[in-house]
């Protein structure tokens, strides 16, 4: 349970943009519907993805977001790291700045945490959004054609309510 809601949302948003066939940019509103994400959160996440060069934006009517690179060049690990930070399970096992373990005498645990870290990195850094598109069974054009997205007239904020709490 260490992938935060925001990271989940961000990866879903990128996947949604990767799944789209035509070149039309997608509005925050649309992405929110496609991914079941609160719009207000995407208003924070997408600029962040934009700052990292993962997506590109256009303003004004007919504006929106699109990917800045082919899906094959965007790894899942990059998005996760951007939103969430280092992939190490514990601070004494980060690759960049492992803070020394308080238990001096040969803390063999550190080595195991590093193994978990490396296994995680190996998966997330080799999985691209092209892979995810493929696993999803292709693009979304057919689906979006057959299942009309209900763009209701009174389109105000907060399309999807907060997720129900699961105790």
Partner DNA sequence: GGTAATCTCGACATGAGGAGTCGAGAAACA
Partner DNA sequence: TGTTTCTCGACTCCTCATGTCGAGATTACC
56 beta partners? 66
- 44-70 burial string, b = 16+ CB within 10 Å, else e? ebbeebeeeebbeeeeeeeebbbbbee
Contacts of 112 (CB under 8 A, 6+ apart): none
Size of the site for DNA (CB under 7 A): 31
Q: Which is nearer to its own copies, 102 or 151 (CB)?
A: 102
Please say which residue, 8 or 27, places its beta carbon nearer to its own copies.
Answer: 8
Q: Which stretch binds its own copies (CB under 8 A): 44-52, 61-69, 111-119, 150-158?
A: 111-119
66 binds DNA (CB under 7 A): no
Q: Which stretch binds its own copies (CB under 8 A): 41-49, 57-65, 115-123, 150-158?
A: 115-123
Which positions from 139 through 158 interact with DNA, judged by CB under 7 A?
157-158
Q: Residue 126 contacts by C-beta under 8 Å, 6 or more apart in sequence?
A: 75
Does position 9 interact with DNA (CB under 7 A)? The reply is yes
Looking only at residues 22 through 61 of this chain, which bind its own copies when binding is defined by CB under 8 A?
34-36
- d(C-alpha 160, C-alpha 51), whole Å: 26
């Amino acid at each position: 349970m260490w992938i935060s809601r925001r990271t989940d949302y961000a990866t879903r948003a990128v996947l949604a943009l990767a799944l789209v066939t035509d070149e039309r940019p997608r509005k925050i509103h649309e992405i929110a519907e496609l991914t079941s994400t609160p719009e207000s959160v995407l208003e924070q996440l997408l600029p962040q993805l934009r700052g990292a060069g993962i997506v590109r934006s256009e303003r004004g009517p007919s504006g929106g977001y699109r990917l800045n690179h082919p899906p094959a060049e965007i790894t899942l690990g990059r998005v996760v790291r951007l939103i969430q930070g280092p992939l190490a399970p514990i601070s004494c096992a980060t690759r960049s700045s492992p803070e020394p373990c308080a238990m001096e005498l040969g803390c063999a645990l550190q080595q195991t945490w590093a193994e978990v870290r490396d296994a995680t990195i190996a998966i997330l850094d080799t999985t691209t959004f092209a892979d995810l598109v493929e696993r999803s069974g292709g693009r979304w054009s057919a689906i979006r054609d057959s299942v009309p997205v209900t763009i209701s007239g009174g389109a105000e904020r907060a399309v999807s309510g907060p997720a129900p709490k699961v105790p």
